[in-house]
Structure 1
């Protein structure tokens, strides 16, 4: 199996784009003879004429034009691999904070994509309430946080907006009972929204649990022992949104917001920010390092 040398391909691309060996040699900081020898060996390896040397200015043959497209991609891929695996700007640790109710299904995809692109960066996920995540960011304990909020705070960026829905057990009927039995974590951002909506509508309610354990809340709701509120795209399979027209007040929408200490957080944080934007927009991230 014959192999193409990336250094030789780099010289080939330079000659093709700059229009001559002299300019390419200067650009690559090589001698003209070194570049000419590389081109000769490349043509011998492929057993093809890559350049038309009959005119005053060197030109590509049809075979040369075909190779140029491949050569550019191979050189670019080589440079990208070397930069991502050896650049110390992309080596270290990044801590991402996110509320538990927006972890699935998006965050695992983000972590996987980021780790594949930057294997030398250790990325850690910290899950907590929006209130506690803001506090952690202020103390410098996390590098970047996602939040669920009704309004954007200064310095943040809204990634998307999602309806907030009443949820109960699949096929459950507890939402019809009064007083309405609620289950929320003590620091859940949706708790005051739900309580205020019920009180403004005149619906009696009672809190059935006083806990910070998300699993306990989920179990109570799934067993049709309590009602809660979740973002529309984060409802687990064993729960369902209570239908509109059920007599329960509308809970509006919630913003998923992104915060970092500064707008320019450095290469690792900026690339993670890019992945998060793309993920919540439903688009693939175009990860490109800047030299």
Structure 2
């Protein structure tokens, strides 16, 4: 007798595996954590297999779970394609989402995947630009939703979470020991004023040795141990390392991840905002 896999339970399983936990998966799926956990158990019971390794602090996949995950992605993609092609969709058009490059991964791809499943005829234009540029574009109506990294978001913004900043330099570098401290920054970097303020409050002399419109020159200077910079702790390049300065440099505190959405009650904007909120609102858990 043929046996069928519950697609709803399979979608929950794939979401948990991709997101690394039930909490973030529940936000993406717009379900409660208990509902997602129940669907995982139902899928395991129907297959007679243990798919999740729950022995550690985080949920992992068993060998059977790893095997099912590959099938699951293909099955869900085909399922979603069938519904997208064979059912009439009420919404179409374009929506513009702006995100700074340092917080695109890993959440924006998940948000876009979930959104395109629900609104296959709505094209999302993803704009990657610095926070200050995105704020200007939003104010001019050139972006519908933006995500920013800034110490003090505007009154119309919704703060999603906070993440720490870190001093970074060349691997094994010594530039952080020099005085005046040599800094490298993009001209439109939103973190630069706060970094300079922290140095001046700590009475540490500094000089800006690289100022560029793009990241390439800044990254090259830091990699060559000619300067240091401050970045989001989750966005440290493989060519750089967090500086273990032992208190020789000031603590930079945390910056906020905020969301701005244009007014109105359009379902596409509302849903995109919900997906962004669910994804980035759990970011701090991933850094614990």
SS in 1 for 2:185: coil
Kept after mapping to 2: 8 A contact 1:96/1:124: yes
Q: Partner residue of 2:113?
A: 112
SS at match of 1:183: strand
Following TM superposition, by how much is the alpha carbon of 1:257 offset from its aligned partner in structure 2, in angstroms? 0.2
Q: Which of the pair has more CA radius of gyration?
A: 1
Please report how far the alpha carbon of residue 278 of structure 1 lies from its aligned counterpart in structure 2 after TM superposition. Answer: 1.7
C-alpha deviations, 1:131-150, integer Å up to 9, x for none?
A: 22111111110101111111
Tell me what 1:38 maps to.
none
Q: Which residue of 2 aligns with 1:210?
A: 211
Q: Provide closer, same or farther for how the CA distance between residues 228 and 105 of structure 1 changes in structure 2, counting only shifts above 3 A.
A: farther
Q: Structure 1 residue runs of 4+, over 3 Å off?
A: 80-85
Matches within 5 A, 1:49-128: 81=83, 86-89=88-91, 91-128=92-129
Whole-angstrom CA distance in 1 between matches of 2:138 and 2:238: 32
Task: Give the aligned length.
Answer: 206
8 Å contact from structure 2 (residues 89, 119) kept in 1: no
Q: Does structure 1 retain, via aligned residues, the 8 Å contact 2:96–2:144?
A: yes
Contact residue 104 and residue 234 of structure 1 kept, 8 A: no
| SS across alignment from 2:120 | coil
Select between 110-119 and 240-249 the one with higher mean Cα deviation. Answer: 110-119
Distance 1:219 1:86 in 2: 51
1:103-142 deviation line (CA, Å, top 9, x unaligned): 2333233233333443222111112222221111111101
- Compute the displacement of 1:251 (Å): 0.7
Distance in 1 (CA, whole Å) between partners of 2:281 and 2:90 is 30
Query: Could you say which residue in structure 2 is the equivalent of 1:237?
Result: 238
Aligned 8 A contact 1:165 1:251 in 2: yes
Distance across 1 between alignment mates of 2:84 and 2:109:
26
In 1, the alpha carbon distance for the partners of 2:84 and 2:128 equals: 33
CA distance in 1 between partners of 2:201 and 2:86 (Å)? 54
CA deviation after TM superposition for structure 1 residue 86, in Å: 2.3
Name the CA distance, whole Å, in 1 between partners of 2:163 and 2:177. Answer: 25
Once residues 225 and 231 of structure 2 are traced to their aligned partners in structure 1, the CA distance between those partners, rounded to angstroms, is: 15
CA distance change for structure 1 residues 191 and 83 in 2, over 3 Å: closer, same or farther?
same
**By how many angstroms is 1:85 displaced?**
5.1
Unaligned runs of 5+ in 1: 3-76, 284-291
- Shift of the 243–109 alpha-carbon distance from structure 1 to 2, 3 Å rule, reads farther
Mapped to 1, the partners of 2:152 and 2:85 lie a distance apart of 39
Aligned to 2:21: none
CA contact (8 A) 2:182 2:208 kept: yes
Shift of 1:247: 0.8
- Following the alignment from structure 1 to structure 2, what is the Cα–Cα distance between the partners of residues 248 and 129? 25
Query: TM-score of the superposition, structure 2-length normalised?
Result: 0.65
Structure 2 counterpart of 1:269: 269
- Cα distance in structure 2, aligned partners of 1:278 and 1:224: 38
Structure 2, unmatched stretches of 5+, are: 3-78, 284-288
Counterpart CA distance in 2 for 1:239 and 1:265 is 44
The change in CA–CA distance for 1:221 and 1:110 in structure 2 (over 3 A counts) is farther
RMSD: 2.6
Q: 1:143 to 1:84 in 2, by over 3 A?
A: farther
Q: Is the CA contact 2:186–2:214 (under 8 Å) kept in the aligned structure 1? A: yes
Match of 2:94, SS? strand
TM-superposed deviation, 1:81: 3.5
